[in-house]
Amino acid sequence: MSPLFLLLGLFLYLGLLFLVALFGEGRGRAWAQSPWVYALSLAVYATAWTFFGSVGRAATQGATFLPVYLGPTLVLLLWPFLHGKLLELARLHRLTSWADYLFLRYGHAPLGFLTALFLVVGLLPYLALQLKAIAQAFLFLSGEEAPLADVALPTTLLLALFAILFGTRRLDPSERHEGLVLAVAFESVVKLLALLLVGGAALLALGNPFPKAMERPEFLPLLLPPEGASGYLAWVSLTVLSGLAFLFLPRQFHVSVVENVNPRHLALAAWAFPLYLLLINLPVVPLALLGRLHFPQENPDLYVLALAQEAGPGLALLAFLGGVSAATAMVIVESLALSILVSNHLLSPLLLRAKALGSLLLWRRLSILLVMLLAYLYFRLAGEAYALVGMGLISFVAVAQLAPAALLGLYWKGATWQGALAGLLGGMLLWAYTLFLPALARSGWLPGVFLEGPHPWLRPEGLLGLEGLDPVTHGFLASLLVNLALTLGVSLYTRREAPKEGRTGEVAALSALIGRVLGPEAEEGFQREAQGLPGPQAAARAEALLAGSVGPATARLLLLSVTERAPSEALVEEAARESREVRAYARALEEARRELAEAYERLKAQDQAKDELLAAVSHELKTPLTSVRALAEILEAHPDLPEEERRRFTGLLAKEAARLSRLVEEVLAYARLQAGLPLRLEPTSLKTLAEEALALAKPLALEKGVRMEVHLEEVQTLTDRDRVLQVLLNLLHNALRHAQSRVYLELGREGKEALFRVRDDGPGVPEALRPLVFEPFQSFAGGTGLGLYLARRLVESLGGRIFLEAGEGASFAFTLPLEVDRADPGGG
């Protein structure tokens, strides 16, 4: 195929990618924020390694290409535990990488620095792999013999330009890059379709490879599971390694955490992304077998292209673009993620010291270029000596070194920064010794001693004399076990530091700082957000904002200038406790004051009532007393009064004396009630009690010429008979005084109550006065005005009710409970 045609295809594809990214930042923003695009963006995991390398590995080592995809499937099943927690932390603290998290968790700046440095070095082989894939594909299809490096360099520069344009427009990397995400999702679709089409076309053109493979004994191991304990151990190790890599690769953190717009998108991604991986792996084995059958002399990493070329130039170009899309998506996102790491943890602290923080964005762009050029350099140094998968796995083992410090930090409070640092250093050293340096030695850039080691027990690819493990499984197990042991062991023997002191500051000063570092737009945003927040919260918010852009360590240093130490938690707790006690004391005082005021008001009312009573009683006593005195004086002064006149006067005298006596009795009853004498409850026949009251009222009835009518049922209850008798007598005397010819007394049951009714055929109570009849000193017919009031108080003290019924004449009724449950056992 013509190199010019291929170059044209490559540039047109990259141009299309630019357009997709622009669309994502404009009208396609809603698309870019959909859960499907999020799931597809996770497929940045499937790189040129997947597109070309998996077929190469399947063609040489059978099923061992699959664990690389089973690992992420397993990890995503745990998203409610892992990613859910991570997203929450990232949102709160604007995390941009695992290095940010390690600094946040352990509060030790060198840890972030070391992580960033190590990840850059550790991922160079992986980036180099992508450059190699593009260059290799280009040269294979064009038939050129030029060195790989000639094509890789311009590709490197072009991809760096893309990452700079769509990844570093703003300083804050924790903001979303919708254009970038949509471009990555688009590339995921392209590489999937390309591989499926190549696989389908190859099967159609060349037929089912499996029966043919059966006829070749050397193919049989490719169709069987890995053999022996070492094969099984390699399978399990590779699955675990891939799962950890999926979790800790900087580009995966970037797309799954930083670019996540909605945590709920994870639920769809948890099955949709593994489904993507399954689909893209479906054609791998057939392609691998067809490649070996038809191109036995060809590099297995190029089988996809060779088979596509066999089917025609169109499919070859599609396969080339599929591989390019797989490589470019990875390179763009990974270089962006690494540049953020470099600028946040390596450059920012230096620029702060040089008072040149304003140029951070420029430095971040330059760091993308630097990372890409370093990857190119690695590719020149070691790339041509390694298969694609072998290079990628070295990087996988490097990022897996973050696992002990990060996962123990997430779920174990006992992890200390000393433990994390020791584990990370131990893991890194072993990774370099067992994988990285031997890779360079194999390429001829280092002497052979880096492959053999200074002693048979220290052989880099067989420590302690271990034989039979492949170098990656060996390096992974050795480095991770040492890392884990150091992290756990050192953490157990070091004390966890007290949490860093909080800072507090004025919103105005914090806003000004944010304005200086992040610009006026960020300053306004912060002012709106922090308005009304307490000092410590505003300072924490400002720190998170700054940390997202300049890294957590630099953010903390910047804050020192505009904040001061917040009071310690113990002090705040003590103040809060004292404040709570003071508030409780004040509430108790207020309660006591209110009770005293109420008691005073009650006393005042009682005093007033007493005065009113005294005045009323004096008035009521004065009238009959005056009459008695006048009659007595007449009788004394006129001994010769006629007998008839004398009898009339003595009759009047007796009547007035009786009135005086009744008045005194009622006043005494009122006094007893006020004194709160206890009830004397006893089983009582209410019918007998009513008959007793009738007998006592009978003289008055005879005197008035009023007929008494009764209807009494037998009713028994537990009550104070004297009080009931007094109520009955009060009502009967009232009725007799006002009746014209008859008084009716009734006793019966009504539900759970006994009901007395006393009715007369007198004029009744005027409508306007009905609400007042049970109030004290409300006399409407020359009485004391205490009778009905006393009756009401007595009935209520017995748990009953008294009321005036409607109708002709006056009809008073009261009830008594048959089941005694009194709220006022003291009476009164």
The contact set with other proteins (CB under 8 A) reads: 63, 66-67, 70, 73-74, 76-81, 208, 210-211, 213-214, 220, 223-228, 231-232, 235-236, 239, 264, 266-268, 270-271, 274-275, 278, 281-282, 285
What residues have CB less than 8 Å from 671, skipping those under 6 apart? none
* Smaller CB separation from other proteins, 266 or 324: 266
CA distances from 618 to 615, 667, 784 (A): 5, 11, 11
Cα distance between residue 42 and residue 265, in whole Å = 11
Residue 812 bridge partners (DSSP): 758, 804
Residue 592 identity (one-letter amino acid): A
Cα distance between residue 700 and residue 345, in whole Å = 110
Q: Report, in Å, the least distance between residue 279 CB and other proteins.
A: 10
Cα distance between residue 241 and residue 260, in whole Å = 24
* Smaller CB separation from other proteins, 208 or 579: 208
CA distances from 615 to 147, 242, 521, 618, 784 (A): 126, 102, 83, 5, 12
Q: Report, in Å, the least distance between residue 504 CB and other proteins.
A: 37
Residue 313 identity (one-letter amino acid): P
Q: Report, in Å, the least distance between residue 202 CB and other proteins.
A: 16
Q: Report, in Å, the least distance between residue 546 CB and other proteins.
A: 33
* Smaller CB separation from other proteins, 236 or 658: 236
* Smaller CB separation from other proteins, 66 or 137: 66
Q: Report, in Å, the least distance between residue 280 CB and other proteins.
A: 12
* Smaller CB separation from other proteins, 270 or 388: 270
Cα distance between residue 73 and residue 108, in whole Å = 33
CA distances from 314 to 142, 204, 310, 328, 750 (A): 14, 16, 10, 21, 102
Contact 280, 115 (CB under 8 A): no
* Smaller CB separation from other proteins, 139 or 213: 213
- Write out 173-238 in H/E/C secondary structure: CCCCCHHHHHHHHHHHHHHHHHHHHHHHHHHHHHCCHHHHHHCCHHHHHHHCCCCHHHHHHHHHHH
Contact 740, 787 (CB under 8 A): no
Nearest residue to 127 (alpha-carbon basis) of 274, 336, 360? 336
Burial class (CB in 10 A: 0-12, 13-18, 19+), 619: exposed
Cα distance between residue 280 and residue 48, in whole Å = 12
Nearest residue to 666 (alpha-carbon basis) of 809, 552, 793, 796? 793
* Smaller CB separation from other proteins, 264 or 638: 264
Question: What percent helix, strand, coil does the chain show, rounded to 5?
Answer: 75, 5, 20
> Is the Cα dihedral 542, 548, 550, 554 positive or negative?
positive
Nearest residue to 690 (alpha-carbon basis) of 782, 756, 784, 785? 756
* Smaller CB separation from other proteins, 214 or 571: 214
Q: Report, in Å, the least distance between residue 238 CB and other proteins.
A: 11
Q: Report, in Å, the least distance between residue 281 CB and other proteins.
A: 8
Q: DSSP of 570-585, one letter per residue? A: HHHHHHHHHHHHHHHH
* Smaller CB separation from other proteins, 271 or 457: 271
Residue 347 identity (one-letter amino acid): L
Q: Report, in Å, the least distance between residue 286 CB and other proteins.
A: 10
Contact 120, 371 (CB under 8 A): yes
Q: Report, in Å, the least distance between residue 479 CB and other proteins.
A: 21
* Smaller CB separation from other proteins, 220 or 596: 220
Cα distance between residue 9 and residue 2, in whole Å = 11
* Smaller CB separation from other proteins, 213 or 788: 213
Q: Report, in Å, the least distance between residue 77 CB and other proteins.
A: 4
Q: Report, in Å, the least distance between residue 390 CB and other proteins.
A: 22
* Smaller CB separation from other proteins, 79 or 789: 79
Q: Report, in Å, the least distance between residue 64 CB and other proteins.
A: 11
Q: Report, in Å, the least distance between residue 236 CB and other proteins.
A: 6
* Smaller CB separation from other proteins, 227 or 581: 227
Q: Report, in Å, the least distance between residue 515 CB and other proteins.
A: 39
Q: Count of CB atoms within 10 A of residue 557's CB?
A: 17
Read off the tokens for 715: 């009713």
Q: Report, in Å, the least distance between residue 278 CB and other proteins.
A: 5
* Smaller CB separation from other proteins, 194 or 270: 270
Read off the tokens for 611: 């005065």
* Smaller CB separation from other proteins, 303 or 431: 303
Q: Count of CB atoms within 10 A of residue 315's CB?
A: 21
